[in-house]
Amino acid sequence: MNYLARLLASGFVFACAAVAWLVFGGIMSNRTMMQDSALVGRVNDLWGTPHAQYAPRFVFDWVEDRTSSKVLVDTQNRVVRDELGVPLYAIEQVPQSVVASPRGTDLDVALALDSRRKGLMWYALYDVDFEGTWKVTSDLEHPSTLTFAWAFPDSGASYDGFAVFIDGVDRTKDVASTEGESLWRIPVQPGESHEFRVKYRSRGMDTWTYHPARGTGQVEDFTLDMTTDFVDIDLPAYTMSPSEKAREGDGWRLRWQFERLVTGNGMGMVMPEKVQPGPLAASMSFSAPISLALFMVWIHVLGLLRRIEVHPINHVFLAAAFFAFHLLFGYTVDHLPVEAAFALSAAVSVVLVVSYLRLVVGPRFAFVEAGLAQLLYLVGFSLAHFWEGFTGLTVTVLGIVTLFALMQLTGRIKWAEVLARGSLEAPEVG
């Protein structure tokens, strides 16, 4: 087989391996989606959904006397008139209401991460300890009834230790419910201020947010103190950054504090996610052809320079050993910790390649040139997938380093003579 035919045969081996990786990546993606669809409902039933706690509503209600358009009539259906003969009109009692904004808000939230793994997916679950206090003042000139309307962030979740205090008095049991809200009503005199406090413990998943208003609203004398027991913090979309933050123990203490603010955004926290086994295996498989291509080119050029014959059939076994890494990782990662599955798969693949090339070309080439190349192109490149955003950079760096090395090694090869000779004999180096 001449040189060009060997190149074409090696290219065919690479193409077959690339197709196999793409198929396997699709299988892993499908397995992950099927498991996630089957499990996410169970996780939600046990732990709840992402919590979005909205501020309570405060509504003042009163009855206002208004003159109607109907005249008063007596028992004989005659119009009643005053002393001047002017007809008298009936007085109607018209219900009135107005929604009030709290004059002060003081919130304390403690988040404790409790990630759980199910099959090929990690779920970012958390415990939340919530306590909030709101102060409301009546600016009306007449007595009214103040309604405190409370809605839980997730109607299907459990809330342990739930309690409502109005002016320091436990009013948890004095509740009425309507349209998903719990209501408490108290009489209010003009100028009076009242304090409402709510506390509970619950569980959620992925994110926790607090919204001071439904839509755009005004917050006054607002403070939210949040503590976490994890370091990797992130904010949900359309939320505001904290005014202050400081490390505390194994986590952070965050504070949002505003004197007066008009906003439609909330405040919250995204729970940190662990490396997802299923998506990781799929991503590594989809990008695996790049690592094999770099490895094959490296081995081919070194073989050419050192008069080592690496036959296309040898490349078949090498490609299979590379594929074995992803195959073993894909089917052990849902049974072992990700790090253990990765180490096992890498060790198996390296042993396959080195032990095989030791027989084909000799121990030194197998352990040094090929072994180090596999650690770099397969293990190192796959390891970069553990850090989101670094995969592309790793490919770029490996590609540039490999290109530089190959350019230096082959810069003096007279390729026209090599191709004309049509064989793997040592090229003439000038």
Q: Both 412 and 312 in a single domain? A: yes
286 and 412 housed in the same domain: yes
Last residue of a domain, one of 244, 270, 296: 270
Domain boundary among 222, 255, 270: 270
Does residue 380 lie within any of the structural domains? yes
pTM flag (> 0.85): no
What is the average pLDDT across 116-128? Answer: 88
Which CATH number covers residue 112?
2.60.40
Cα–Cα nearest to 223, from 201, 265, 254: 254
Residues 221 and 354 grouped into a single domain: no
Q: Give the whole-angstrom CA distance, residue 14 versus residue 296.
A: 8
Query: Does residue 211 register a pLDDT over 90?
Result: yes
Per-residue pLDDT tens digits for 151-169 = 999 887 889 999 999 999 9
One domain for residues 133 and 225: yes
Percent of the chain whose predicted confidence (pLDDT) is above 90:
51
Same domain, 144 and 231: yes
pLDDT at site 398: 83
Pairing of strands 207-211, 51-54: parallel
Q: Do the domain assignments include residue 426?
A: no
Report whether 388 contacts 404 (CB < 8 A).
Answer: no
Assess whether 300 and 263 both reside in one domain: no
- 187 is a domain residue: yes
> Are 281 and 381 found together in one domain?
yes
Domain with 249 in it: 51-55+101-205+207-270
- Check whether residue 122 and residue 184 sit in a common domain: yes
> Final residue of a domain: which of 270, 294, 317?
270
Contacts of 97 (CB under 8 A, 6+ apart): 59, 60, 61, 62
298, part of any domain: yes
> If you ran DSSP here, which 8-state letter would residue 386 be given?
G
Same domain, 233 and 182: yes
Q: Same domain, yes or no, for 321 and 247?
A: no
Q: Tell me 87's DSSP state.
A: B
Chain CA centroid to CA 46, Å = 19
**Is 217 in the same domain as 117?**
yes
pLDDT above 70 covers a percentage of the chain that reads: 96
Q: DSSP for 316-345, please give it.
A: HHHHHHHHHHHHHHHHHTTTS-HHHHHHHH
Q: What is the reported pLDDT for 303? A: 81
The number of distinct structural domains making up the chain is: 2
- Tell me, yes or no, whether 313 lies in a domain: yes
**Which DSSP string corresponds to 289-314?**
HHHHHHHHHHHHHHHHHTT----HHH
For 271-324, what is each residue's pLDDT tens digit? 998 888 999 999 999 999 999 999 998 888 888 788 788 888 999 999 999 999
Q: How far apart are CA 209 and CA 186, in angstroms?
A: 29
Report pLDDT for 97: 85
Q: Are strands 217-228 and 104-113 parallel, antiparallel or unpaired?
A: parallel
Q: What does the alpha-carbon distance between residue 200 and residue 105 come to, in Å, rounded to a whole number?
A: 17
Contact 423, 3 (CB under 8 A): yes
Same domain flag for 200 and 322: no
Per the prediction, the chain carries an average pLDDT of 87
Is 415 within a domain?
yes
Check pLDDT > 50 for residue 338. Answer: yes
